Every structure is written in C-alpha cells, then in structure tokens.
Amino acid sequence: SVKKVGVLIGSLRKGSFSRRVANAAIALAPESLSFTIIELGGLSFFNQDLEATPPADWVSFRDAVKACDAILFVTPEYNRSIPGVLKNAVDVGSRPYGQGVLIGKPAAVISTSIGAVGGFGSNHHLRQCLSFLNMPTLGQPEMYLGNSAQLVDEEGEVTSEGTRDYLTNFGKAFATWVHKPWG
C-alpha cells in the first residue's frame, strides 16, 4: 500500500537548500510513499488564547497533517537548534493537549547545513520534541547533510552519486519504517 507523507520544511526562503534536499529526497523515495509538502509560511504564531477559536490557517495545517500517515522533517539549523517557523508548526500540531495531530505519527528527520556539521544540533533538538509527542522517529540512516549549498543544483539534480545513494537508502529505510504497524 502507498503511505502518505507530509513534508515540513524549516526554511521559508525561496532559494532554500533544505527545500532542494527535500525535493531530492522525495524524487528518490520508493513508490510506496507519496509526499505532500505542507507549507508553513502562512501559519500564525501559536497562542493559547486562540485555542478555543483556532485561526483558519491552524485548522487547514492540522487537517493537512491529519490526512498523512507519517511526517518527514527537513530542516536547517539556526543557532544550533530548529528555526522558529518549524517549532511553531510543531507547537500548533501538538495541541489541543492530548489530541494534537502530530501525536504518534511515524517520522524522520533530515537536517541540513551549509557548514560541515550537518545540523546535528537542530536534528536532535527536533527529536526532543518528537519524543515527547510519542512520534516514532527513524534512527538510521542518520541524515546530517553538510555542505547543503553544493548537494543539489538549481535544476534539482543531486550533484554527487554518493549523496544520491545516501538519499535513496534513506528513502528505503523510511518506507519500511512507515509501513510498520504503528499504533
């Protein structure tokens, strides 16, 4: 069966290297996964005062997440953590308390960086949130993608065979993960 994966990208900029990596990961994934990028740019800041009357953008974000079997996070690292835009999405998707649409969904994390460390801090700060939300998150292969500016060209082509193989192996492992009988 084909499982639906929602993709959350932690960068809003047009030329985002994380978005390029996300598109490459999608293109190289097995056919047993289908992907939808859920856009985060229009998501209002989480505010507990609004929980009783959620803004329309929260409702459509939550509906989009609810329609997915799994979530793929692709994020840069800001100040050794995740960008606020992604944390906001996690917070919106985590509420109402105990009923958040993210709770329990299988997930994977790809972190990116223009530097060599590959967003390790971002990757693991995000995993702290996902652990609390009871989201079973793929452990291997670890995806800390450094030198993100060079990985995928403007046409969306992965520039090295090694990176292509790595993303392909990740896609296979994630598909196996998502098809486990979670929940």
SS3 label, residue 145: strand
Contact flags string 10-49 toward ligand FNR, x per CB under 6 A: -x-x--xxx-------------------------------
State yes or no: residue 153 binds ligand FNR (CB under 6 A).
no
Assess 113 for contact with ligand FNR (CB under 6 A): yes
Of the pair 118, 136, the CB lying nearest ligand FNR is at 118
Segment interacting with ligand FNR, rule: CB under 6 A, options 23-31, 33-41, 47-55, 113-121: 113-121
Instruction: Give me the DSSP letters along 6-53.
Output: EEEES---TT-HHHHHHHHHHHHS-TTEEEEE---TTPPPP-GGGTTS
List the Cα angle 5/120/174 in 5-degree steps: 25
CA dihedral 80, 167, 69, 5 (to 10 degrees): 90
Whichever of 11 and 94 has its CB closer to ligand FNR, that residue is 11
Nearer residue to ligand FNR within complex by CB, 44 or 81: 81
Closest CA to 140 of 159, 121, 123: 123
Q: How many CB atoms lie within 10 A of CB 39?
A: 16
114 in contact with ligand FNR (CB under 6 A): yes
Give the nearer residue to ligand FNR in terms of CB position, either 77 or 91: 77
List contacts with ligand FNR (CB under 6 A): 11, 13, 16-18, 76-80, 112-115, 117, 119
